[in-house]
Amino acid sequence: MEFSGLISYLVFFLSMAGIYGILALGLNMQWGYTGQINIGVAAFFAVGAYTAAIVTTSPSPDYLGGFGLPFVVGLVLAMLVAGVLALFVGLVTLKLRSDYLAIATIGIAEIVRLFLKNEDWLTNGVRGIPAIPRPFGNLGGVDDSVAFLLIVLLMVAGVYWTMQRMFRSPWARVLRAIRADEDAVMASGKNVLRFRTEAFVIGSMFMGLGGALYAHFTGFISPEAFDPMFGTFVVWVMLIAGGSGNNRGALLGAVVIWAVWTMTESLTSMLPGDLVTQASALRVFLIGLLLEIILLTRPQGMLRERPPRPIDDGAGERQAR
């Protein structure tokens, strides 16, 4: 492969890995920090992407959007809308325990998906939203993608730094205490629900940010892009593979699993045409299998978190000795 081809492949790879890294960090805020199972990551991812798209594209007769606002405004609004959606979900379900939240988030993701497909007046339905602009206009060629990659990496660094700061803060100490013994924290008068909601909302806002970046990166979005496999499940595998509760683990998992995913894609794209859909099913199967193998053999992931966490109960501690 010639050098510039290799560079552009690498830039593409790292951009997507970075976007998924942000999603994984957001999920880490929810699952790793507070043990909340969000199986509707795709919903917040999609909402962020669509908000950014609607806000930054040029006006169109087909749908409501097209305000032509700047890139940064799109990012901020994407995070806000995702956060509001998360708040709504949280108000209803965060009082209840994780299994209920899990089902509720599946429901939310489904409703968001239906909404995006059916409410053409806002989202252009299944036709999707095209021509989402890059922040520096179209410089064309490699420079443009490198510039965008730098923006993505900047965002990744920002989210990571924010989360590390929060991780060390007194706020996070309360979160860890909640995870260890919720009743004790409640008895000491702290509002457990508020902390959990905050973590959930912040995590969702990061997912919205990832969505916005994704929209600008691909230039075209439609409801299909946010199906449960790409939008939710793959993020979970990334977090578990990398090491839940652990920010570096989240990023490492994103890179590794994305590498596995794209490698399997290039392998299967070499197959004859009529086998292509079977091939994509095979890739899904392998990712699922990978998850099970990780859960059975090394549930704490590649990078262990140092403070103890729910996923480490029993299995992780046994392996620590």
> Which residues would be at the binding site for other proteins (CB under 8 A)?
35, 37, 39, 92-93, 96-100, 102-104, 106-108, 110-111, 114, 117-118, 229, 233, 236, 240, 277-278, 281-282, 284-285, 287-289, 291-292, 295-296, 299, 310-311, 313-315
C-alpha–C-alpha distance, residues 268 and 43, integer Å: 28
Q: Minimum distance from CB of 18 to other proteins (Å)?
A: 25
Q: Which CB atom, from 131 or from 271, has the smaller least distance to other proteins?
A: 271
* CB-nearer residue toward other proteins: 219 or 299: 299
148 or 233: CB nearest other proteins:
233
Q: Which two tokens stand for residue 283?
A: 């890739």
Phi, psi of 244 (to 5 degrees): -70, 150
Q: Residue 259: CA atoms inside 13 Å, Cβ hemisphere, count?
A: 9
Q: Which of 31, 55, 35 is nearest to 207 (CA)?
A: 31
Number of H helices, E strands in the chain: 15, 0
Contact, 221 vs 50, CB < 8 A? yes
- What residues are paired with 129 via a beta bridge? 221
Write the burial class of residue 12 (CB in 10 Å: 0-12 exposed, 13-18 middle, 19+ buried): middle
Return the SS3 of 303.
Answer: coil
- Residue 131 or 281: which CB sits closer to other proteins? 281
Q: 163 is written with which tokens?
A: 């989360």
- The structure tokens listed for 316 are 């992780």
CB of 35 to other proteins, least distance (A): 7
Beta carbon of residue 318, minimum distance to other proteins (angstroms, whole number): 10
- Nearest to other proteins of 2, 274 (CB atom): 274
Q: How far is the CB of 19 from other proteins (least distance, A)?
A: 22
Distance between CA atoms of 47 and 85, rounded to whole angstroms? 9
Shortest distance in whole angstroms from residue 44 CB to other proteins: 17
The CB-of-12 to other proteins minimum distance in angstroms stands at 25
Q: Tokens in use for 219?
A: 């230039």
Of 147 and 290, nearer to other proteins (C-beta) is: 290
Residue 32 and residue 25 in contact, taking contact as beta carbons nearer than 8 Å: no
Backbone angles phi, psi at 129, to 5 degrees: -115, 115
Cβ proximity of 145 and 11 under 8 Å? yes
Query: At closest approach, how far in Å is the CB of 200 from other proteins?
Result: 16
CB nearer to other proteins: pick between 169 and 319: 319
At its nearest, how many Å lie between other proteins and the CB of residue 124? 16
Q: Nearer Cβ to other proteins, position 146 or 279?
A: 279
